[in-house]
A and B are shown apart, each in its own frame.
Chain A
Amino acid sequence: MISTPIYSPGDRWFGRINTALLVVFALCALYPIVYVTSLSVSSGDAATSGRVWLWPVEWTLSAHAHVLQDKLFWTSYANTLFYTVVGTLTSLALIIPAAYALSKPRLMGRRWIGFFVAFTMWFNAGMIPFYLNLGDLDLLDSRWGIVIAFAVNAFNIILMRNFFESVSPSFEEAARMDGANDFQILWQVYIPLAKPAIATVAMLCAIARWNGYFWAMVMLRDENKIPLQVFLKKMIVDINLTEEAAGAMATQAYSLETITGAIIVLSMIPVVIVYPMIQKYFTKGVMMGGVKE
């Protein structure tokens, strides 16, 4: 429906109610984020006494300042950047060529190789053998372990392959007539053609890297290697659930609540800023996955 049709009065009311409900839902989606943000810039006193519910009370940045002074916060932030950038590039370097090869009908054994890849979506060994295997490979407590062990997944390969398959074969044939080999065709023709799909897969990889905590928590012993999410977990979940540190930490200026808020806000900022720009790629990713899933 491109243009707005002419509606009867009843339908207009329907539209208004619909809009109003959507506004309510949107506010529900936003509220927790607004709440923690307000919490993070309110005074510790206001937060502990429960006076903050929407807007900041007794505005202060001391909780943020406190978090920003924490060396581990910066270390983990830098680590996350490393894992996100290097991890995503590694993923692309492995996924794109494999997906290209798999998209070629002339590839002998294509069905078997495709099954070899896709099978891991339906069945995998699970957490324990995976962990023991990482130990065998000496990848526990290693930055490169984090990068390489999660570099590939079948879904992203299939997503990318589906896109390559949708490219008209005459692009390849024209390049072949001109004397290009497979590497040249991939690099000079398919990769430029696939930019939107590559961006989508890159975004999927990057956001998974940015937000992932579980395996980093399990694998990494050395505090200097942990990503932001593990730091967050230590600071928010572990401390709050024990509740012991709460009293010890509270001062006039900040409290456990405002610190929690500040950490959340500081770690969320990049995502919230970048997100509107990359949103369309995720929408596309959902569609691409839907085509052949």
Chain B
Amino acid sequence: MSGAIESPATFVKQPVRASKWGEVIETMRRDWMLYAMLAPALIWFLIFMYKPMYGLQIAFKHFSAFKGIEGSEWIGFAHFMTLFHSDQFLRAISNTLVISFYSLILAAPVPILLALMINEVHSKGFRKTVQTVLYLPHFISVVIVAGIVIAFLSPTTGLVNTALRALGLEQVYFLTRPEWFRGIYISSGIWKEAGFDSIIYLAAIMGINPALYESAQVDGATRWQMIWRITVPCILPTIAVLLVIRLGHILEVGYEYIVLLYQPSTYETADVISTYIYRLGLQGARYDLAAAAGIFNAVVALILVLTANKISRRITRTGVF
């Protein structure tokens, strides 16, 4: 090696990968079709996902529709200061966290329970029917769900109030009462999604080696014991990963459904960050301020999601349990 004179022969063989650019041109010539296939989607991402990111600068500007995004003047963090002195924004943050927290403890366990129960059904027909019925609400649009909720809770003619009247109780206009909003939101959410969300757990359960159950049976375990000693421990990693992912999304309470159900009298508990942005920006045309709220939300959400991802990756890799 040291000081060896390179013979011309070995020298000639090298320039196959002479330059990085030569290699790029070679791959382009070979794989141009792949790039042609990618191009439309990538252009789409550029226009509809990355261009708006450039537009995020209005959060630091005094946005004027006449001057446009670039022409508007910079004002630094003024909008953020405004937001953090706004009771409404702070309320939206706290509402978001509260709603997320409640759905985490109330709604998240339901799909697990359903999956465990469905797994105990042996009749194929019954099992399929139950699954079909339980998954159905997932496919019903939020508008219809809101419509059904409204119909149920209607103050004069709704079923709930009719029942209350029949019991001699006072009727309640639930949808105008802030104290009822979270309950309504979470329970209708469970109705809509719990069945469908059980699929992922059911898949995890199906992945358990049947021999575990067979040997437990030979050992005389009851079904109850098998659930607690085999099924639950085996799907714990899945549960943990999904829990972590949910935690990562704790700031993302969707506006689509809430916008349909809330009204000014329930903002107190119902207004979350995304609905606040919607009202401020799209309804109130305060684009710059709303964009600032959006940035704050997106950045915090990104950090949370990345952290959650890291943790869940660790769980899946090493199996914490």
Contact = CB atoms under 8 A, between A and B. Distances in A.
Interface of A: 1-2, 4-5, 7-8, 10-11, 14-15, 18-19, 21-23, 25-26, 28-30, 32-33, 35-36, 39, 47-50, 53, 93-95, 97-98, 100-102, 104, 106-108, 113, 116-117, 120, 122-133, 137, 148-149, 151-152, 154, 157, 181-183, 186, 207, 210-214, 218, 229, 232-233, 236-237, 240-241, 255, 257, 260-261, 263-264, 267-268, 271-272, 275-276, 279, 282-283, 286-287, 290
Chain A contact residues: helix, strand, loop or mixed: helix
Ranked 3 nearest A-B pairs via Cβ? A50-B162, A126-B294, A97-B37
Given A4-B122, A5-B217, A268-B140, A125 B150 contact: no
A182 B37 contact: yes
A205 B195 CA distance: 20
A255 B38 CA distance: 53
25 contacts: A2-B210, A8-B222, A18-B121, A32-B148, A35-B151, A36-B151, A50-B157, A94-B40, A98-B38, A104-B34, A123-B298, A123-B301, A127-B278, A127-B282, A128-B287, A128-B290, A132-B58, A148-B44, A152-B41, A157-B41, A232-B141, A260-B147, A264-B147, A275-B139, A276-B132
Interface string B140-160: 111110111011101011110
B24 interface: yes
Contacts of B213: 1
B260 A11 contact: no
Contacts of B88: none
B150 A241 contact: yes
| Most chain B CB within a 10 A radius of its CB, from A2, A14, A108 | A108
Given A125-B56, A183-B37, 15 more contacts: A1-B122, A5-B217, A15-B120, A33-B136, A50-B162, A106-B31, A125-B53, A129-B53, A132-B55, A229-B143, A236-B150, A240-B151, A255-B157, A264-B147, A268-B144
B42 A237 contact: no
| Most chain A CB within a 10 A radius of its CB, from B24, B40, B196, B213 | B40
Interface string B186-201: 0000010001100110
Interface in B113-131: 114, 117-118, 120-122, 126, 129-131
Given A19-B126, A236-B147, A124 B31 contact: no
Interface in B4-48: 24, 27, 31, 33-35, 37-38, 40-42, 44-45, 47-48
A260 B149 CA distance: 11
B274 interface: yes
A97 B33 CA distance: 10
| Most chain B CB within a 10 A radius of its CB, from A23, A39, A130, A218 | A130
